[in-house]
Each structure stands twice: as structure tokens, then as C-alpha cells.
Amino acid sequence: MKAITTQNYAKYLLFLAICLLGAPLSAQEETETSKKFTISGSVDAYYRANLTAPNDEDAIAPGSSFANLSGFSLGMANVIAAWEGEKVGFVGDLVFGPRGTDAVFASPMYSATGNIVNQLYVYWNVSDKVTLTFGNWNTFLGYEVISPVGNFNYSTSYLFSYGPFSHTGLKANFDLGNEWSAMVAVMNPTDLTEFNPTGDYALGAQVGYSGQFLNFVYSQGGFEIDYTGGFDLSEEFYLGINGAYYDNDGTGFTGVALYPQYKTSENFTLGMRAEYFAEMGDYGAIGTGVADSGVLALTLTGSFSVGDLTLKPELRLDNASDDAFINTDLEATKSLASFLLAAVYAF
């Protein structure tokens, strides 16, 4: 009995020694892991009110995506987990809330309870010049993105709203040197991000030079060409530009948006989005029910930062070529003026 007890003590001492020897290695591995693994994201909420239309059950909003709810409203919580290795890595980007639900609107095909996946991909840096990405990633088209952290204006443009949001497939990015870049991709049809129920595939391509990008997508008979870029005209003044053309058998849209922004101080920037968007045929984006309608949308936004929190007051005027909205008397009208105040926290 005593021998057995001694053997047990010996086992415990051996186990303790292994733990003590392994502790520095575990700590070292944990330190290295903490340098590679990151969690980031954002939380946003807003208040929105029409100035020329009702704000009750008859409330309406511009035909673009996001920031369309009345009163005090929720945006989304965005949590991004990423592993950045020397050669390989992954990104898992989850979204919760109304803005997130709108962002993955076509994805809950397989899951009966919906989807919270905004992006989910792995990548391989094959060399210093070539990176392969496999999975689901946000679109490379357009000036604006899904996350409000990446946009100057809080509400989004028509061009962004009616281009693709995300793609699922395989893409290859190339660093061509001298500020030139290129990308080619094979993907599921536009917005089908969980799986491919059609058997068709989309093709994408991009050519970039010094922050200016020309983008192409062909999906199920529809072709879109998009230019996205911008210029620092001075230390305080920046001008962003987005233009796009989409056609699918005579139905589609064309448009251009300018994004002048002037930084008045370290904490405050004033900017505008001036966008003209026109439908080909009855595309249905503007909501007039009339073929070949157009809309001029002017959005004035202030951006005031307090640490990691950004406050964005915004005035927006949408003026369509045909009746697309209603006024306070519930009569059809061509224009809508609205105001919102957004709060965006990034971590």
C-alpha cells in the first residue's frame, strides 16, 4: 500500500514538473498568438426623422440601403475575428441588428434562422506579389462599404445599394509594382453567399493604380463596370469619386457620386455626397414605378470624433424625376428631406 502511495506521489511530481516546464512555452505561444489574433468591430445607432413627410405609420425613406428606420433606431453590432499569419490567415466577420440583416439579405437560404455572416474567408500569401482568397468577402465595387466605420456619410448611396454587397468564391490579388494592382475572381452569382443553387458563376476583375480602381462584374447576364477613386487636393480637402454602369438585357442603372470632404480641425470634418442615379427601364430602385426615372440625392454630413466614438449629424435631400415620395399631407411628391444623427463606436 505504501509503495503504491509512493508511486502516486512520483506521478504527481512528474506531472507538476511537466507543467512547470511547459508553462514558459505556453506563455510564449500565447504571446505570439496575441500578436496575430485580433478582434475588432463597431457598434452604431441613430435617430432619423423626415422633414417633409410623416414620421408615423406612413413614414417613408429614401430608396437606398440602411438608415431607413424612424425615430431612435439601431444600426448593427459588428464583430470581426482575424488571424494574421505570415503566409496564411482568416477573417470571420459577424453582424447583428437591422443594418446587419439588410447587409446579408439574400443569404438566409440554407439556414432557417437567418444568417449573421458578413464575411468569412481564408487567405494564402503565395508570394509577396500574389494572394489567394477563398470564401465570402465584401464587394470590391463602389466607394462605400457595409460597415459605417468605413463610410464618411452614414446613410448610403443608390450606387452602393444596388450594386453587389458581397461575393463568395475564389479570387487572386496581384501586386504588379509601381502602384499597379490587379484582381480576378470566380464567384457564385451576385449576393448568393451561402451556396450556389443555380449552377451559374460570376466573373470579377479589378485594375488599380495609386488608389484608383476600375472594377468589372459579370453575373447571370448582367454586366457592371465601376470606377472608384479619390484625390487629396490639399491637406484639408479630399474628393472621392464613384461612377457605375449596370445593364442586364436593357434593364439596369447608371450613376455618379462625388464626395468632397473638408477637415476643419483634428476632430471635425464636413463632407457632402452629391449623387445622380438613373434607371434604365423600370429597374425599381427609386420607387417611382415609371421607366427611366432618375434621382438627385444631396447628403451633407458632419463627422465629429471623441476618441473611438464618432457622431454624425446628417441632412439629406432626395429629388426624383417622378413622384417617388409623399409629403405631410400624404400627397405624392418628387422630393424628400430628412435628418439623422448617428453615433458610431469602433473598437
Cα–Cα dist 340/156, whole Å: 12
Please name which of 306, 249, 247, 239 lies closest in space to residue 273, comparing C-alpha atoms: 239
Q: Where are the beta strands (DSSP E) in the chain?
A: 37-50, 71-84, 88-96, 117-125, 130-138, 166-177, 180-187, 202-209, 212-219, 222-232, 237-248, 251-263, 268-280, 294-306, 309-320, 325-326, 332-333, 335-346
In a domain, 37, yes or no: no
- Asked whether 207 and 199 are in contact (CB, 8 A), the reply is no
In a domain, 122, yes or no: yes
Which residues, at least 6 apart from 307, have a Cβ–Cβ distance to it below 8 Å? none
CATH number of the domain enclosing 319: 2.40.160.10
Report CA dihedral (131, 193, 40, 29) to the nearest 10 degrees.
Answer: -60
pLDDT tens track for 171-220: 999 999 999 999 999 999 998 999 999 999 999 999 999 999 999 999 99
pLDDT surpassing 50 at residue 315: yes
**Mean pLDDT of all residues in 305-330:** 97
Map grid coordinates 471623441 to a residue.
306
In a domain, 160, yes or no: yes
pLDDT tens track for 50-109: 999 999 989 999 999 999 999 999 999 999 999 999 899 999 999 999 999 999 987 777
- In degrees, rounded to 5, the angle at the alpha carbon of residue 344 between the alpha carbons of residues 243 and 69 is 75
In a domain, 35, yes or no: no
Domain tally, the chain: 1
Q: What is the pTM of this model?
A: 0.87
In a domain, 7, yes or no: no
In a domain, 16, yes or no: no
Which residues, at least 6 apart from 140, have a Cβ–Cβ distance to it below 8 Å? 167, 183, 204, 206, 213, 215
In a domain, 152, yes or no: yes
Q: Which domain holds residue 243?
A: 42-346
Rg (CA), the chain: 25
In a domain, 19, yes or no: no
